[in-house]
């Protein structure tokens, strides 16, 4: 570590590890749009060959993310789904996967289809129950135990250290979707994870204007090289401008996550026990079933995501969402603006989401204003 880089994640982020434009000495790293690169006179390449395997603009955000996650290497992908699916595409037919019943719905849907088509075994389990995970793994055949914690949209908590132990004893890798907590709140590799995934569209970028995903690895082994090959061969990479925008967004990550956590905690506490609430799902509340585990493996807050179950059922929840004026009715999460979704209607009939649930992504507005808008929306 250099003095320029600093000792704290906040400093790494704000200074982008001290990066600047080497050619112009600008304090902001440059964008490299080239898709092909010059050969030497002997027809060898002194550097990169082509933009599909890699681009120079990727180097700084990948290095910064690796530093934040305590990872050996990181890779940028064109979307969160491109990153997540690359892990499974690196498996062999006959391998087995254990994944959560409650997880990002589009990945769960894709997994069901892909595993059947690719000849992979798949078990979806309750990841809050370590015994259920242990019962699902098949030693010698299970290759991936996939965990999302807190789990979207009910914010269940998985014990990462326990899941890692179960996975490793079975000869499998633990892969963790760390999108919601970000590495500022949870560093899965410290708890035994092998690979960490982010939908970087969300908190890492944080401005709802970039589509991107990432993977970070503890040890770049042969399986990681297969993932790298999937990215290069299938072309699931972002453009250089998007990579540059990601880096720009990451520089304010610490400020945004801190404010989102504070807002979520304030909203959760205000509506906990509220007469028009049928329940608040947020690991920052002491009576949340996973609060103790979350307090142990998260630091600096419990995330900016929570869900409100509306008294009166689905009709009341949909009505409340329609009446909101400040909260924006839109898909996604982790941006500076606060978003709301009625998840059951988005996910469809196989959703594990209760029909009275509104998913709330807290942005960086005034907590008092967010609470007031919810109050008027829930009013009779």
Neighbours of 299 (CB within 10 A): 12
CA 85 to chain centre: 14
| CA–CA separation, 35 and 51 (whole Å) | 5
How much is the CA Rg of the chain, to the nearest whole Å?
Answer: 21
CB-CB contact of 284 with 185 (8 Å): no
Closest CA to 160 of 150, 170, 171, 152: 150
On the CB side of 162, CA atoms within 13 Å amount to 14
Enumerate the active-site residues. 52, 104, 177, 202
On the CB side of 353, CA atoms within 13 Å amount to 29
CA angle 353/267/323 to nearest 5° reads: 70
CA 263 to chain centre: 19
């Amino acid at each position: 570590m250099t003095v320029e880089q600093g000792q704290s994640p906040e400093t790494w982020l704000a200074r982008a590890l001290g990066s600047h434009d080497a050619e112009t000495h600008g304090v902001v790293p440059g964008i490299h749009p080239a898709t092909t690169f010059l050969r030497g006179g002997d027809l060898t390449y002194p550097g990169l060959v082509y933009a599909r395997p890699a681009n120079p603009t990727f180097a700084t955000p990948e290095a910064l993310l690796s530093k934040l996650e305590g990872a050996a290497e990181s890779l940028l992908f064109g979307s969160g789904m491109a990153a997540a699916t690359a892990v499974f595409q690196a498996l062999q037919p006959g391998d087995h996967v254990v994944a959560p019943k409650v997880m990002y719905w589009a990945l769960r849907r894709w997994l069901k289809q892909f595993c059947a088509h690719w000849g992979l075994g798949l078990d979806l389990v309750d990841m809050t129950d370590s015994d259920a995970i242990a019962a699902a793994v098949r030693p010698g055949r299970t290759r991936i135990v996939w965990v999302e914690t807190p789990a979207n949209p009910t914010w269940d908590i998985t014990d990462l250290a326990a899941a890692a132990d179960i996975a490793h004893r079975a000869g499998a890798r633990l892969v963790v979707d760390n999108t919601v907590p970000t590495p500022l709140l949870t560093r899965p590799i410290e708890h035994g994870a092998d690979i960490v995934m982010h939908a970087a569209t969300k908190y890492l970028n944080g401005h709802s204007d970039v589509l991107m995903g990432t993977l970070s690895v503890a040890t770049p082994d042969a399986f990681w090289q297969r993932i790298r090959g999937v990215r290069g061969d299938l072309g699931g990479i972002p453009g250089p401008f998007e990579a540059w925008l990601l880096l720009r967004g990451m520089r304010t990550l610490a400020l945004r996550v801190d404010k989102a956590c504070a807002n979520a905690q304030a909203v959760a506490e205000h509506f906990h026990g509220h007469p028009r609430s049928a329940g608040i799902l947020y690991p920052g509340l002491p009576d949340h079933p996973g609060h103790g585990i979350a307090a142990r493996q998260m630091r600096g807050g419990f995330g900016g995501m929570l869900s409100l179950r509306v008294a009166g059922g689905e009709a009341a929840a949909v009505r409340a969402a329609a009446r909101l004026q400040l909260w924006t009715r839109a898909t996604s999460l982790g941006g500076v603006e606060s978003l709301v979704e009625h998840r059951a209607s988005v996910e469809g009939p196989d959703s594990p989401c209760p029909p009275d649930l509104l998913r709330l992504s807290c942005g960086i507005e005034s907590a008092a204003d967010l609470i007031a808008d919810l109050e008027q929306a829930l009013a009779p």
